């Protein structure tokens, strides 16, 4: 039986935070570069606060603690995304792809563009796992690891090639990353990614439905279900003719103004 407080509210909360947070990060990363330092300070403060929040919330298995840990994990994640999209923590390579490279050599060159970011994410994931090990509330670490896994899968798919490589959300100073994308095509990997994430969503949904009504376990599973379902949606965007600007055009004022001027 579907519960309002245990299923519907967590779903709404997750979608709302996902939509607003993605837009805010896109807005910050597409402003003038002179604003990046201030954005990074704000993002870093939020990220450190998120770590503290996760640590405190991990000591309680109450419903409120689950929500707080979830928000804390998203604060930490947002910090990493901001660092990457401003170019502060991307990788040692900051130039266009060598068109003559193929296979492993091409992969190594592409990996060098995001290496620092991926290492930072992995170290943070290990830190959160260690902090919440055997803790009553592990939702913070679980959320971060889930998002890390989904983002890594999407990056690999973009490298291999997907039917739709729309990248309106990508800041201009990171435009060189587009040259590392594979050619537009449907691949088995993308199909398996959607199926795998869909299975994970169904598993979390089953956990949420089986948990006691109104319990922290129900809320936590519902949050993870919605998050993984959004992961499925984002991977479907890679296969369908969908433009980022259709949802987050409001977060790209500079480009919107430029488009208006052209018209």
Give first-to-last CA distance, the chain, whole Å.
Answer: 52
Residue 263 lies in a domain: no
Alpha helix segments (H runs only) across the chain: 9-29, 36-57, 63-85, 103-111, 115-131, 139-160, 188-210, 216-237, 245-248, 253-262
DSSP string, 58-77: TT--SHHHHHHHHHHHHHHH
Gyration radius from the chain CA atoms: 19
Using alpha carbons, select from 220, 234, 225 the residue that is nearest to residue 203.
225
Residue 243 CB-half CA count within 13 A: 5
Residue 186 lies in a domain: yes
Residue 258 lies in a domain: no
Residue 59 lies in a domain: yes
Contact 113, 94 (CB under 8 A): yes
Residue 83 lies in a domain: yes
Q: How many domains does the chain have?
A: 1
pLDDT value at position 241? Answer: 83
Residue 238 lies in a domain: yes
Contact 214, 5 (CB under 8 A): yes
Task: Kindly list the averaged pLDDT for each block of 10 residues, start to end, along the chain of length 263.
Answer: 88 94 90 93 96 96 96 96 93 93 94 96 96 94 97 95 83 92 94 97 96 94 97 92 76 56 44
Would you say the C-alpha torsion 67, 73, 78, 79 has a positive or negative sign?
positive
**Tokens standing for 101?**
């490279």
Residue 174 lies in a domain: yes
Domain of residue 204 covers: 4-252
Using alpha carbons, select from 209, 193, 74, 205 the residue that is nearest to residue 142.
74
Note the residue count of the chain: 263
Residue 176 lies in a domain: yes
Would you say the C-alpha torsion 76, 79, 85, 91 has a positive or negative sign?
negative
pTM comes to 0.93
């Amino acid at each position: 039986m579907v519960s309002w407080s245990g299923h519907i509210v967590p779903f709404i909360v997750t979608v709302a935070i996902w939509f607003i947070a993605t837009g805010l990060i896109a807005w910050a990363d597409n402003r003038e570069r002179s604003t990046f330092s201030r954005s990074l300070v704000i993002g870093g403060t939020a990220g450190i606060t998120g770590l503290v929040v996760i640590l405190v919330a991990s000591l309680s298995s109450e419903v409120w603690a689950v929500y707080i840990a979830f928000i804390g994990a998203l604060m930490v994640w947002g910090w990493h995304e901001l660092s990457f999209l401003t170019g502060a923590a991307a990788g040692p390579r900051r130039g266009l792809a060598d068109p003559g490279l193929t296979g492993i050599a091409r992969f190594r060159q592409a990996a060098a563009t995001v290496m620092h970011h991926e290492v930072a994410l992995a170290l943070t994931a290990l830190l959160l796992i260690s902090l919440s090990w055997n803790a009553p509330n592990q939702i913070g670490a679980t959320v971060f690891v889930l998002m890390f896994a989904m983002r890594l899968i999407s990056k690999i798919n973009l490298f291999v090639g997907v039917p739709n490589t729309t990248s309106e959300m990508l800041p201009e100073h990171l435009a060189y990353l587009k040259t590392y994308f594979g050619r537009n095509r449907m691949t088995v990997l993308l199909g398996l990614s959607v199926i795998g994430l869909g299975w994970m969503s169904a598993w979390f949904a089953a956990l949420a439905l089986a948990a006691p009504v109104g319990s922290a376990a129900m809320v936590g599973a519902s949050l993870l279900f919605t998050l993984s379902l959004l992961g499925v949606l984002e991977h479907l965007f890679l296969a369908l003719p969908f433009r980022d600007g259709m949802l987050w055009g409001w977060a790209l004022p500079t480009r919107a103004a430029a488009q208006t001027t052209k018209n």
